[in-house]
Structure 1
Amino acid sequence: MNKMLKVSLIALTAAVGGNAVSAADSTDPIKLTLHDWSGQLINTKIMGSILEEAGYYVEYVQADYIAQFAGLKSGDLHLAMEIWETTGREALDEAVATGKVVNVGETGLQAIEEWWYPLYMKDRCPGLPNWEALKDCAEEFATAETSPNGRYVGGPVTWGGFDDERVEALELDFEVVHAGTDAALFAELESAYQREDPVILWVYVPHWAPAKYEGEFVEFPAYTPECYSDPSWGINPNMAYDCGKPRGPIWKAAWSGLQEKWPGAYDIIEDYTITNEEMSAMVGRADLDGVDIDTVVADWMSENKDRWSAWIAD
């Protein structure tokens, strides 16, 4: 399709639908990053669908969670819909400090990512949820492969999270085993829970797992930025990461040129919000009920037309 035809089609779309595209907006596709967990795919495709309803061209690009910042800085990627305060804030702040990436604000989602155990494990390690209990009952979480050390199932290594560093800094007798994918992580939980086998693993919110299974997050020493940057801070005076993970918003991050190149789209992205309850329900439909993610997204779009239409009209 040549550029003149593309411009004509966008102008027609805007005229018919009252959408956000104007002469100030580029006709190039806006490139949104996709990662490897269902919530992020849903969140990103909802945003992409809204932008398409507004008359923009959208392209989805598979990208590593942390490595995506290189593409956002260069302008090869344009929008990342889920930068978690829990694991991505350092990378986000570094990228924003370069002037090449902007924080477009909160998605409305509030993140928790932490060690989590089923409630039946509390009977075997009664000092929980206090993290110090793990010092006395690590063997209760052991498997044949890790005994006498406990086994902690972390997220895929691309997620970050500093679990290996935390185990060392807090002198926990645990071996960190990283799940290969988000699906593998929760398959491990499902399998262990059904048999009441020992398990402790990375669980996050928003997600369906804390609603489906009875359990608790481990209470580590409270996070502060100094815990990650200053080894002298905290329980272990020689090592950083001797605390829990941060908690807080999930952010939208964009290439700094997005607002100038697609000003109408930038305004829509700023306005966009969604709740933990909505996202957890949609992830449950995808992961538990087997509903295709594109169908989950299409249903949300159909049920929330007045809401996203207002973002386009603003």
Structure 2
Amino acid sequence: MTKFTPFSAALLTALSAAGAMAEVESLDPIKLTTHDWTGQIITTTIMGEVLKKAGYNVEYVQADYIAQFAGLKTGDLHVAMEIWETTGREAMDEAFGTGKVVNMGPTGMKAIEEWWYPSYMEKLCPGLPDWQALNDCAAEFATPETAPMGRYLGGPVTWGGFDDERVEALSMDFEVVHAGTDAALFAELESAYQREAPIVLWIYSPHWATAKYDGKFVEFPPYSDECYNDPSVGVNPDSAYDCGKPTGPIWKVAWSGIADKWPGAASAINAFDIDNDTMGALVGKVDLDGESISSVVSEWMSANEATWSSWIK
């Protein structure tokens, strides 16, 4: 039986009085990581607030998307709610191979991350969405800083994604310029879209952008594991990453000790499930309507109590 200090007992009593479940396995904080895009913070906050309803002590920790795996391996961090198949697969596989990080199942969301352009660019570059058309039209995407090369606006460097490697492997006449933040990425898209200015950039889904803006994803050679890992596979026999990005689930991962220390919390994390449309709408309320993440999460929880309460039963 877990031994509680007087402070812990007092905290548990307070949580119980507030309507939380009276029995949790440990009041040590469960550390959930947050990153630098709105959707991930919403996903994590929903999970954290549900765990609080169950009586758990939750701490949100800002962490780098890829570098966080070091903390998950040691148990200094406990839960990462969004690891995208598109960008996180290599880091996941390496971490799972150590036995110190475990897969907590899909979030219910499906990930798409790829180069994207507004539809008006097809007038200037009629070969789109074929990736090979971009080389013929590189000058149309150039900026004073990149000319004569076209400019591709990538996500923050911490997101990974192998865009620099892809440009080199496919001999594209483009320079990758990384946005400093998620907000900066979409602010530049908004500005370009309003002016019908040339732009090709990283877009991901679930997100409100694919609903708000008329555009298309660039069609690269199809992704395969071999394309990323075997240079001889793909259109360039001397380079890996000569293909598009993978698509697939967005995963939840955790420190391997979570099920032993907090089995009830682990069960709730496994049960978490939300879809692309729901998340896209929630992100839009924050990024477009100016609502706070806390108010958006609170509103969702009030409207979906039957859903989240089933995760903690």
Aligned-residue offset at 1:149: 1.0
SS in structure 2 at match of 1:125:
coil
The aligned counterpart of 2:39 is 39
2:159 counterpart of 1:148: no
SS in structure 2 at match of 1:88:
helix
Q: What whole-Å deviation, never above 9, does each CA across 1:11-31 have from its counterpart, x for those lacking one? A: 674588473844xx1110100
The aligned counterpart of 2:265 is 265
Letter of the structure 2 residue corresponding to residue 78 of structure 1 = H
The aligned counterpart of 1:209 is 209
Letter of the structure 1 residue corresponding to residue 275 of structure 2 = T
Change (3 A) 1:48 1:233: same
The aligned counterpart of 2:76 is 76
The aligned counterpart of 2:112 is 112
2:139 counterpart of 1:139: yes
Q: What whole-Å deviation, never above 9, does each CA across 1:168-219 have from its counterpart, x for those lacking one? A: 0000000100000000000110010000010000000000001000000001
The aligned counterpart of 1:48 is 48
> Which shows bigger deviation, 93-102 or 139-148?
139-148
The aligned counterpart of 1:126 is 126
Unpaired stretches in structure 1, ≥5 consecutive residues: none
Are the counterparts in 2 of residues 7 and 27 from structure 1 also a CA contact under 8 Å? no
SS in structure 2 at match of 1:129:
coil
Are the counterparts in 2 of residues 78 and 258 from structure 1 also a CA contact under 8 Å? yes
The aligned counterpart of 1:62 is 62
Give, in whole Å, the separation in 2 of the partners of 1:309 and 1:13.
Answer: 16
Give, in whole Å, the separation in 1 of the partners of 2:47 and 2:260.
Answer: 19
Alignment counterpart, residue 10 of structure 1, candidates 9, 12, 22:
12
Describe how 1:90-239 pairs up with structure 2 within 5 A. Answer: 90-239=90-239
Q: What whole-Å deviation, never above 9, does each CA across 1:52-94 have from its counterpart, x for those lacking one? A: 0000000011100000000000000000000000000110111
Give, in whole Å, the separation in 2 of the partners of 1:14 and 1:311.
Answer: 18
Give, in whole Å, the separation in 1 of the partners of 2:181 and 2:296.
Answer: 21
The aligned counterpart of 2:283 is 283
Letter of the structure 2 residue corresponding to residue 109 of structure 1 = M
State percent identity of aligned pairs: 68
Give, in whole Å, the separation in 2 of the partners of 1:132 and 1:186.
Answer: 25
The aligned counterpart of 1:19 is 21
> Which shows bigger deviation, 86-95 or 9-18?
9-18
Are the counterparts in 1 of residues 64 and 158 from structure 2 also a CA contact under 8 Å? yes
Give, in whole Å, the separation in 1 of the partners of 2:139 and 2:130.
Answer: 16
> When the two structures are aligned, how many residues end up with a matched partner?
310
> Which shows bigger deviation, 82-91 or 125-134?
125-134
Letter of the structure 2 residue corresponding to residue 137 of structure 1 = C
Are the counterparts in 1 of residues 29 and 59 from structure 2 also a CA contact under 8 Å? yes
Change (3 A) 1:20 1:219: farther
Letter of the structure 2 residue corresponding to residue 3 of structure 1 = T
Aligned-residue offset at 1:4: 3.0
Give, in whole Å, the separation in 2 of the partners of 1:16 and 1:161.
Answer: 44
Are the counterparts in 1 of residues 20 and 52 from structure 2 also a CA contact under 8 Å? no
Give, in whole Å, the separation in 1 of the partners of 2:22 and 2:252.
Answer: 20
**Root-mean-square deviation over aligned CA pairs:** 1.4
Aligned-residue offset at 1:136: 1.2
Are the counterparts in 2 of residues 73 and 255 from structure 1 also a CA contact under 8 Å? yes
Are the counterparts in 2 of residues 21 and 56 from structure 1 also a CA contact under 8 Å? no
Change (3 A) 1:236 1:20: farther
Give, in whole Å, the separation in 2 of the partners of 1:64 and 1:312.
Answer: 28
Letter of the structure 1 residue corresponding to residue 296 of structure 2 = V
Give, in whole Å, the separation in 2 of the partners of 1:307 and 1:228.
Answer: 38
Change (3 A) 1:185 1:253: same
